[in-house]
Structure formats: C-alpha cells, structure tokens
C-alpha cells in the first residue's frame, strides 16, 4: 500500500507556480490576481478562504477578499462580480460556496466571466470540459487527475466508480476520467447496493461527506481509493468518507484525510489563476 501524498505534491506545484509568476512579472509585468467573494459567517468557509489567501501570498499573487454580510442582496453581489469582471488586475473570481438560501447560486455563478472562472463552475467551462476542449476545470477533480499523473497511474481501460454526483466534484470527476479513457460508473444517494459497484472497481473515488461510508468489505484487493470527503467528528478530528484504517491495507494506493486531496484543491485554484493570467497576457 502506498499513500498518495497530496500535501507534498501541492507544495511541488506551488513552487513551480512561484517560478512562473516571477517569469510573468519580468516578461509581461503581469501579477496574477484572485478575487474571492464570501457571504456570511460560516466558520468553515472563512477557514477555506484564509487558506486561499495564504496560498496566494506564498506564490506571489495579488489577492482581494470581499467579505459580505449574510443579508446582502443578490443584485449587490452581482454588481461586485461585474466590477471584478471589468478589473484588468483580476484574473480569477471565486465565489465561496455555499451561499445563503436567499441567493440563487446558479445565477451568481453564471455572472462570472468564463475567462475568469477559475473554479470551473460556469456552464461554458463545464460544456468545454465535457467535450474535452481546453477549459477551466473544477479544482478538486483537477487535483485528483494531477495525483494520478504524478504517481503514474494509468487510467486507460480502468473500471472507476465515482461515489457522489455533485456538480462541483462528482460529475466533473467522471467527465475527466471518461476523457482519459476510463470506464466510469457514477453512483449517488439513490444507488441501490453501492458495494455491488465498488467491489468490482479498479479505482474508487468518493466525495459525499459521510464518515466511514466506504468499508473494507466494499473494496477489492489492490484497488486504488481516492477519498475526497472531509468530515469533522465530535472529538474535533478530521476524517474522510473511507474507513481508512481498515481499507488502506487492501489498497495499492490510497489518499489520507487530511493531507490528501484537500491541499491539491488549493494548488489547482492557483494553477487555474496563473493560466488565466497567462491568457490575459497573450490577449493584450
């Protein structure tokens, strides 16, 4: 069994990005800029945003965070996004989810300029990803693909089960795997007998937010398990969706939680923002 170390890979990616940022500054006088919009006081969201701010500083990005009160109107958020769309110093716009219930998330995400949609949530980018055209791809699935690349895990012809069908993780993950010539099965809350599918899979990727959902009897020997889930238990500890202690001995590769997919999500956000800045530089 080999651990897939997302933390060290994320650091490796960030070092590479730092060098690219310096080059971009010297050659084109462009500093990649990321704008984050956060609404309300959700502690987890603020923790994520703080991590993103620190990562931006580490690689030499310009970053700005718009912190908005819970009761802000949808139109006010839209106006700020439009302002960011027109700001030449901003190359990436990220709206921290979830938004309060009175805000229509789909409407908000559609307002973001697709060329600055570094989260890969805009329908334009999703459509291009599905058709295997160059696009901004959702950061968590992109991070998983980067892990496969780093550890020389060949996806062609592999039977892969994706557990979870969210627009942010499950669906784009499945499309990226399909584009890599894997045979993909998507399972979700309405799937009957989940273990029937996971037992046959060469690779299982799970991200639904349920501790110990995937147990040892659900995984075949030698399988690869990617745990995207993150759950805080009553004792304060962080765990994934996989019963790591019992599943890990059966695996050829497995990601830990924490220290697995999580750090890669932020690394890919930085990578997408750098990509946007480079494209901006080419278009002026």
Catalytic residue from among 5, 52, 146, 243: 52
What span, in angstroms and rounded, lies between the C-alpha atoms of 90 and 124?
19
From 119, 227, 241, 243, active-site residue: 119
| Residue 52 bears catalytic tag | yes
**Tokens linked to 279:** 């494209």
Residue 143 lies inside a defined structural domain of this protein = yes
Q: Both 79 and 152 in a single domain?
A: no
Q: Do 108 and 159 belong to one domain?
A: no
Whether 63 and 111 share a structural domain: yes
CATH number at residue 178: 3.40.50.720
Tell me the sheet residues that pair with 224. Answer: 203, 253
Q: Say if 99 falls within a structural domain.
A: yes
> Are 59 and 143 in a shared domain?
no
Among 43, 39, 48, 126, smallest CA distance to 78 is for 39
- Joined tokens for residue 42: 């959700």
Please indicate, yes or no, whether residues 230 and 170 belong to a single structural domain of this protein.
Answer: yes
> Any residues with CB less than 8 A from the CB of 45 and at least 6 apart, and which?
38, 96, 97, 98
Q: 36 and 94 in contact (C-beta within 8 Å)?
A: yes
Is 27 a residue of the active site?
Answer: no
Whether 220 maps to a domain, the answer reads yes
Does residue 204 lie in a domain region?
A: yes
Domain extent, residue 55, equals 28-115
Question: For residue 83, what are its two tokens?
Answer: 């302002």
pLDDT at 222: 98
CATH code of 63's domain: 3.40.50.10860
Residues 161, 72 within the same domain: no
Tell me the average confidence (pLDDT) per consecutive run of 10 residues in the chain, 284 residues long. 97 98 95 97 88 95 96 96 97 95 96 98 96 96 98 98 96 98 97 97 97 97 97 90 97 97 96 95 54
CA 139/CA 187 separation, integer angstroms: 21
* Judgement on whether residues 109 and 177 belong to the same structural domain of the protein: no
- Model-level pTM? 0.95
The packing angle between helices 6-28 and 261-282, to 10°, is 20
> Is residue 32 situated within a structural domain?
yes
The catalytically annotated residue of 14, 96, 241, 243 is 96
- Per the annotation, the verdict on 96 as an active-site residue is yes
- Co-location of 161 and 243 in the same domain: yes
């Amino acid at each position: 069994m080999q651990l897939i170390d997302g933390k060290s890979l994320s650091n490796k990616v960030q070092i590479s990005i730092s060098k690219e940022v310096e080059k971009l500054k010297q050659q084109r006088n462009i500093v990649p800029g990321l704008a984050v919009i956060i609404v309300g006081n959700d502690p987890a969201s603020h923790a994520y945003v703080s991590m993103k701010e620190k990562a931006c500083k580490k690689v030499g990005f310009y970053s700005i965070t718009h912190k908005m009160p819970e009761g802000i109107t949808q139109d006010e958020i839209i106006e700020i996004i439009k302002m960011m769309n027109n700001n030449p110093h901003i190359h990436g716009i990220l709206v921290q989810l979830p938004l309060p219930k009175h805000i229509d998330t789909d409407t908000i995400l559609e307002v973001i300029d697709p060329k600055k949609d570094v989260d890969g949530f805009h329908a334009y980018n999703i459509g291009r990803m599905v058709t295997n055209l160059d696009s901004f791809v959702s950061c968590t699935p992109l991070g998983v693909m980067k892990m496969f690349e780093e550890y020389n895990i060949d996806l062609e012809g592999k039977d892969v089960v994706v557990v979870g069908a969210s627009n942010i993780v499950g669906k784009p993950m499945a499309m990226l795997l399909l584009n890599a010539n894997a045979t993909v099965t998507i399972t979700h809350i309405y799937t009957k007998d989940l273990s029937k599918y996971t037992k046959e899979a060469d690779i299982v990727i799970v991200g639904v937010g349920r501790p110990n959902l995937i147990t040892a009897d659900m995984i075949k020997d030698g399988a690869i398990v990617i745990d995207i889930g993150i759950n805080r238990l009553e004792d304060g500890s962080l765990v994934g969706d996989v019963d790591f202690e019992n599943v890990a001995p059966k695996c050829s590769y497995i990601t830990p939680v924490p220290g697995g997919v999580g750090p890669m999500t932020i690394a890919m956000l930085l990578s997408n923002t750098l990509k946007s800045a480079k494209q901006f530089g080419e278009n002026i």
